[in-house]
A and B are shown apart, each in its own frame.
Chain A
Amino acid sequence: MENLLLIALSAIFVNNFVLFRFLGLCPFFGVSKKTSSALGMGGAVIFVMTCASALTWPIYTYLLVPRGLQFMRTVVFILVIAAFVQLIEMVIRKHARELYEALGIYLPLITTNCAVLGVALLNVEEQYHFLGSVVNGFAGGVGFTLALLLMSGIRERLELAEVPRSFRDLPIAFISAALLAFAFMAFSGLGVW
């Protein structure tokens, strides 16, 4: 029985989804210019990743595996995720207008966020049980949000700094990400003992 805390610590710090597994990079660089939008995207990602894990695990375990259809997992997972995101967007737009204003625009982007499909596939690969998968999804999202918030803080400051012209906007953002990744490497001994 995997230690749930270990799974969470691993997903947030040691094997951070953005800074270690390179998942969720497109929104990471696209939405990290302002802390407010970073927070919105992060919240949406945590929600979708958790639900995606909760939905895909039973489908894989009880529908695909007994029929020997594991090879269909890519198609099935991405369709489930796309359908779920579509559904959530419709629900939020109808019943929680303010929430839609804050989060709604990010939701369609999340379908193609490699972190969502990534965590569903990782749950299968690491052979987590249901609770482990859900924790992995939630913690993965938290790790993503953490990295995103740190990045947005840095980029807001960079806007005011004298950056060489060639490096402005994206290149310096990548260099900053490199430094963040360095920092997170310090966690690699965490939780192994």
Chain B
Amino acid sequence: MSRYTELTKGIFKCNPLFYLVLGLCPTLAVSTRVDNALGMSLGVLFVLIGSNTLVSLVRRWIPAEVRIPCFIVVTASLVTVVDLLMQGYAPDLYARLGIYVPLIVVNCIILGRVEAFASKKPVLDSLLDAVGMGTGFMLGITAIAICRELLGGGQLVLLGLTIVPAFTKSPALVMVLAPGAFLTLGTIMALSNYRKLRRG
């Protein structure tokens, strides 16, 4: 696969959320606001790039029997780094994301890519894969968050700036609650299936 494809496959064709259906837990929990979605996806991107690159670097020295514990130590350490940095430098975001920050370690996207890809492929490819997958995740979770925040909150506020001012006094609150999360994801998946069916 060309380097370019390596990078872009994670964005649409092999989108980790809608196609591989990985990393659902933080997605649905955190996509109530676009702020949260972006913060979470930056954290995931950091850990993804870090773990893919590091594991790929040392892949020849890790015996098969201990590879899972090794991946876990690498990933969990990176997640702890993100956790501590967020506590110190983005405390409001950290307060809103709660336990989903440490739960990044069991985000199936990360362990999935490390196991399936980074442990076998050279460093540059692993890096590109991570960037692509991380970006695909970011786009996916942000799309869901935009839906939920607009429909469920009646406005869109990003980093303190009001992007879409409040346009209704009674938004569909259910969208920021659990059912809304499932509904949004299911609908987006159906739309993506529809596009695929029409194509070929």
A/B contact in complex, CB under 8 angstroms:
yes
Using CB atoms and an 8 Å cutoff, list the residues of chain A in contact with chain B. 19-26, 29, 71-75, 78-79, 82-83, 111-114, 117-118, 121-122, 125, 164-168, 170-175, 177-179, 181-182, 184-185
B190 and A29 contacting across the interface, CB-CB below 8 Å: no
Given contacts A170-B186, A174-B185, whether A121 and B69 have CB atoms under 8 Å apart is: no
Given contacts A72-B80, A73-B102, A121-B102, whether A79 and B186 have CB atoms under 8 Å apart is: no
Question: In whole angstroms, what is the CA distance A113 to B79 when docked?
Answer: 16
Closest chain A residue, CB of each to CB of B195: A166
A185 and B177 contacting across the interface, CB-CB below 8 Å: yes
Cβ contacts under 8 Å, B84 to chain A: 71
Identify which of residues 169-191 in chain B touch chain A, using a CB-to-CB cut-off of 8 Å: 174, 177-183, 185-187, 189-191
B25: contacting residue among A26, A78, A173, CB under 8 A: A26
- Closest-CB distance, A173 to chain B (whole angstroms): 7
Cβ contacts under 8 Å, B25 to chain A: 22-26, 114, 118
Question: In whole angstroms, what is the CA distance A185 to B178 when docked?
Answer: 9
Question: In whole angstroms, what is the CA distance A125 to B69 when docked?
Answer: 25
Closest chain A residue, CB of each to CB of B103: A114
Identify which of residues 25-83 in chain B touch chain A, using a CB-to-CB cut-off of 8 Å: 25-26, 28-29, 68-69, 72-73, 76-77, 79-80, 83
A166 and B178 contacting across the interface, CB-CB below 8 Å: no
Interface size of B as a range: 35 or more
Closest chain A residue, CB of each to CB of B181: A22
A21 and B29 contacting across the interface, CB-CB below 8 Å: yes
- Closest-CB distance, B31 to chain A (whole angstroms): 10
